[in-house]
Amino acid sequence: METQNKTGQAPDVYEESEVTLAPLADRTVAILGYGNQGRAQALNLRDSGVAVVVGARPDGRGHARAVADGFAPVSLQKAAAQGDVVMVLLPDEVQGPAWRDWLAAGMKPAAALGFSHGFAIAFDQIAPPDGATCFLVAPKGQGDMLREAFAKGGGLPGMLAVTDTSPDGTWDLAAAYAKAIGCLKGGGFRTTFREECIADQFGEQAVLCGGLIELLRAAYDTLVSRGYSKDNAYFECVHEVKLIADLLHRHGLDGMRRMISPTAAYGGLTRGPRLVDDGLRDRMSTILDEIESGDFAAEFLADASSADPSGASLAAREAASDFTATGRGLRKRLDALGLDDTNPSGGTR
């Protein structure tokens, strides 16, 4: 029987106090991959009293780190065979080939399959058989943040989903898993594999890792091309992003506007909309179309498996750019001074 609220539905948001770890009792969780998420989740599960077996490549960095953390890692295949819950925490582009090559045939027949991103299920890289138990617990943050917060008694919010053909009890298992890794602290939000995957990728592309970075670069280039110093341009257009992000995170949009100077507030409110016009919204919509249609997923997988991935060469070109070098120089100087780069006044100057 699933956990239900007063209306008889599984809740839209799972609260930690309403969820028990009972679905994980007497079950071993196999963590496949000891990277960013695998390490944090394995450690948090162990601290929550859950039995964990770590699967890692024998000569890899993850294997060595798992040993240092007190685990006795086994091969990925062995771990998959031992798990009652098999958590697939390999890079997204590796999950489909792993499923086809050894995972599908190597799991216990009744084992549950878990993910921390919807990609493999949403874009048909993995198709568990009808009736198989399959869930998603996607922490809203990096593994190191999850581990650090959990170790201090906190955690991160998480997105939870189960596949349509999963049996009764799967939502309870997902909620228990989320609680055990510290993902119900801020609430566990119900979603679908597809919604989580698409919204996550859109946020990364339109804002966090794409749009935002290009906006910063364009602003830096504009100042530098008009004769302003590179250091000054970097401070104003890049370095101070953290100050505003922290204010937004802690105090919300209205709080941030109240805490910055009137000049900054007026300038932002009147000039921001001139930059983000309908043309940009149309291009964002096209980017969302590409994600929804699966075109982005196909392009990414093809690039990752090519002999000369363009993702790697684009990153190398960016690392060698003047923009990156200016930031590197400034950070070195600030690190050497041991300065905390947060601004207690919360201002932008």
Ligand X SMILES: NC(=O)c1ccc[n+]([C@@H]2O[C@H](COP(=O)([O-])OP(=O)(O)OC[C@H]3O[C@@H](n4cnc5c(N)ncnc54)[C@H](OP(=O)(O)O)[C@@H]3O)[C@@H](O)[C@H]2O)c1
For the annotated catalytic residues, the residue numbers are 117
Q: Give the Cα separation of 338 and 330 in Å (integer).
A: 12
- Name the residue number minimizing CB distance to ligand X: 60
Binding flag, residue 201, ligand X (CB under 6 A): no
Q: Which is nearer to ligand X, 199 or 219 (CB)?
A: 199
Minimum Å gap between C-beta 43 and ligand X is 13
Binding flag, residue 92, ligand X (CB under 6 A): yes
Q: Say which residue the tokens 């045939």 belong to.
A: 105
Which of 43, 74, 90, 159 forms a contact with ligand X (CB under 6 A)?
90
Both tokens assigned to 104: 């599908």
Neighbours of 302 (CB within 10 A): 11
Which ranges of the chain does DSSP label H, i.e. alpha helix? 36-47, 61-68, 76-82, 92-98, 104-106, 119-122, 143-151, 170-181, 193-202, 211-225, 230-234, 241-259, 262-275, 278-293, 295-304, 310-319, 322-337
Binding flag, residue 57, ligand X (CB under 6 A): yes
Question: What are the φ and ψ backbone dihedral angles of 326, each rounded to 5 degrees?
Answer: -60, -45
Neighbours of 135 (CB within 10 A): 26
Size of the site for ligand X (CB under 6 A): 23
Binding flag, residue 60, ligand X (CB under 6 A): yes
Minimum Å gap between C-beta 36 and ligand X is 3
Contacts of 205 (CB under 8 A, 6+ apart): 211, 287, 291, 296
Angle CA(163)–CA(22)–CA(25) in degrees, nearest 5?
A: 100
Part of the chain binding ligand X (CB under 6 A), chosen from 60-68, 79-87, 259-267, 312-320: 60-68
Which of 4, 18, 25, 61 forms a contact with ligand X (CB under 6 A)?
61
Which of 10, 13, 51, 94 forms a contact with ligand X (CB under 6 A)?
94
Residues 142-161 that bind ligand X (CB under 6 A): 142-143
Residues 123-142 that bind ligand X (CB under 6 A): 138-139, 142
Residues 104-123 that bind ligand X (CB under 6 A): 116-117
Binding flag, residue 33, ligand X (CB under 6 A): yes
Residue type (1 letter), 110: A
282: helix, coil or strand?
Answer: helix
Q: Which is nearer to ligand X, 91 or 131 (CB)?
A: 91
Q: Which is nearer to ligand X, 59 or 168 (CB)?
A: 59
Part of the chain binding ligand X (CB under 6 A), chosen from 57-65, 188-196, 274-282, 329-337: 57-65
**Closest residue by Cα to residue 94 from 18, 165, 33:** 33
Q: Give the Cα separation of 164 and 7 in Å (integer).
A: 20
Binding flag, residue 44, ligand X (CB under 6 A): no
Q: Give the Cα separation of 331 and 113 in Å (integer).
A: 42
Residues 229-248 that bind ligand X (CB under 6 A): none
Which of 35, 157, 186, 309 forms a contact with ligand X (CB under 6 A)?
35
Neighbours of 272 (CB within 10 A): 9
Minimum Å gap between C-beta 61 and ligand X is 4
Angle CA(158)–CA(164)–CA(165) in degrees, nearest 5?
A: 125
Minimum Å gap between C-beta 292 and ligand X is 18
Q: Give the Cα separation of 21 and 27 in Å (integer).
A: 11
Which of 24, 54, 89, 134 forms a contact with ligand X (CB under 6 A)?
89
Binding flag, residue 36, ligand X (CB under 6 A): yes
Interface contacts to ligand X, rule CB under 6 A: 33-38, 56-57, 60-62, 76, 89-92, 94, 116-117, 138-139, 142-143
